[in-house]
Amino acid sequence: MLRTKKITETYDMKVFTDQGEYFGDVEECVVTIGKAFGWRVKATRSGALSRVLGSAKGVIVPHQLVKAIGDIFIINKAAIPSFSEEEASGEEREEIKAEE
């Protein structure tokens, strides 16, 4: 049986990856033409998202990467932004080297 939830019931819900890693908290839902387009997840101090993003406040996770919504959100691990030096532009490479 399919269970439905109101969008407002999901606010401040904990978000975990399918690998069991704490990601952040749901801040709001991005809705387009009556459909959920994505979920704004805010970075928390203990979440994986804050370690990856640094000073950024959060990310928008596309709804396609949400695996389940119940007492918690479960999202695909692909939603975690990855940043490698090879993908970075010249200016971003300089910032990475400066941080090291």
Q: What is the pTM of this model?
A: 0.71
Residue pLDDT, tens place only, 20-63: 989 899 999 999 988 889 999 998 887 777 777 777 788 889 99
Tell the CATH topology of 7-99. SH3 type barrels. (2.30.30)
Which are the contacts of 21, defined by CB distance < 8 A and separation ≥ 6? 48, 77
Question: Two tokens at 73?
Answer: 């959100």
Show the beta-strand stretches assigned E in 5-89.
14-17, 22-32, 35-42, 58-62, 66-69, 73-75
Predicted local confidence at residue 36, as pLDDT? 87
Q: Using CB atoms within 10 A of its CB, is residue 91 exposed (0-12), middle (13-18) or buried (19+)?
A: exposed
